[in-house]
A = this chain, B = another copy of it.
Amino acid sequence: MKMIIVLKPNSTTEEIDHILERIQELGLKPHLSRGERRTIIGVIGDENKLQAQPLQAIPGVEQVLPILKPFKLAGREMHPADSVVTVGKVRIGGGSLAMIAGPCAVESAAVLDEIAGHVKAAGANILRGGAFKPRTSPYSFQGLGEEGLRILRDTGARHGMPVVTEVMDPRQVPLVERYADMFQIGARNMQNFDLLKEVGQVRKPVLLKRGMSATVKDLLMSAEYILSEGNLQVVLCERGVRSFEDSTRNMLDLSAVPNVKVQSHLPIIVDPSHATGRPDLIPAMARAAVAAGADGVHVEVHNCPEKALSDGPQALLPDQYTALMQDLRRLADVMGKSV
């Protein structure tokens, strides 16, 4: 049974027959259950057909209630064990934590090299940095493009860290694929379905960030787009959602971590930097993420936030990151996980 159709009270026999006919026309199988005052019809059949049909617009129908989860590749039902995604030699999920760190944007080889040295020493295992930057204003710094990708790859190689970077446009996918070990899909593009399909056709891991007003179900449906194209290496990322609270940049929804884990086998990490936008809150939220069961933490680090070309004010200083990593290792230990 995939859906339940609740009919209006006193629906007529004609209405009921019409509904049964429509369901059968669609190649679906109705299952009638007449109550004293209400009649209910269960519908069995191909989920795709069901989702494409506006059953609630049929006269006599009061409510259509879906039963099965709409994601099958991302869901735990068909895949009960936790997935582990491998980026370079780093395992994410199944007890292994990804510690992703780096500046918001790649600015220069020298700056990135210095930051990479710091975060590697502190225990980070994946280096991040943006070469294509989605900026609210067309007049803000938009990233170094291919030059940034090259710097990122070379710096990662020098410090022995695989690299992750954002891709914003389906046309950039082949270029980014040449340089990066993992694609990042940013929050603003979580429902850029053509981009999701494009990275779905590549065989490299994807870090999919939750949209600013996406439900957990929406996030899993977007993962389903990538998975359904054949790329099974998807890591989700909670990075805060829009809310009325005006003292933080976004509201970090840490309950998304266990919520995803109940429904899906995919790893999920947390980005407290974009979520809070405030260095004074990032360490507490990173610790909370590990205790909530996240498979990793994504933190922006910059050696001189005041000169950063993008999002400087939300970055941790290298020393703050080093102190944070010490806390995270102790918490990982309590949680039975390893960095």
Which A residues are within 8 Å of any B CB, using their own CB?
1, 4, 6, 22, 31, 33, 35-38, 40, 42, 44, 47-48, 51-59, 62-63, 65, 67, 70-71, 134-141, 168-171, 188-189, 191-195, 197, 212-213, 215-218, 221, 224-225, 228, 241-248, 251-255, 257-259, 262, 275-276, 280-281, 283-285, 287-293, 305-313, 315, 327, 330-331, 334
CA distance A96 to B10 in the complex (A): 33
Q: How far is the CA of A291 from the CA of B188 in the complex (A)?
A: 29
Q: By the criterion CB–CB under 8 Å, are A224 and B138 in contact?
A: yes
- A134 engages B280 (CB within 8 Å): no
What distance in Å separates the Cβ of A17 from its nearest Cβ neighbour in chain B? Answer: 14
A54 to B284, CA, bound (A): 23
* Residues on B with beta carbons closer than 8 Å to the beta carbon of A246: 215, 246
Complex: chain B residue closest to A306, CB-CB: B57
Residue of B nearest to A31 (CB): B35
State the CA gap A218–B189 with chains docked (Å): 15
CB within 8 Å for A4 and B4 given contacts A242-B213, A243-B241: yes
Query: Given A137-B224, A139-B48, A292-B287, does the pair A245, B258 have CB atoms closer than 8 Å?
Result: no
- CB-based contact A262/B280 at 8 Å: yes
Q: A1-B35, A194-B169, A215-B244 are in contact. Are A221 and B136 (CB under 8 A)?
A: yes
Partner of A252, one of B245, B255, B290, B307: B255
Residues of B within 8 A of A310 (CB): 52
Tell me whether A191 and B134 are in contact (CB under 8 A): yes
Q: Which residues of B contact A315 (CB under 8 A)?
A: 57
Which B residues are in CB contact (< 8 Å) with A54? 305-308, 311-313
Given contacts A137-B224, A331-B291, contact A213 B213 (CB under 8 A): yes
Contact pick for A288, options B58, B262, B289, CB 8 Å: B289
In the complex, which residue of chain B has the Cβ closest to the Cβ of A334? B330
User: How far is A54 from B300 in the complex, measured between Cα atoms in Å?
Assistant: 14
Complex Cα–Cα for A195 and B193 (A): 13
Tell me, rounded to whole Å, the shortest Cβ–Cβ distance linking A144 to chain B: 13
Chain B residues closer than 8 Å to A171, beta-carbon distance: 170-171, 194
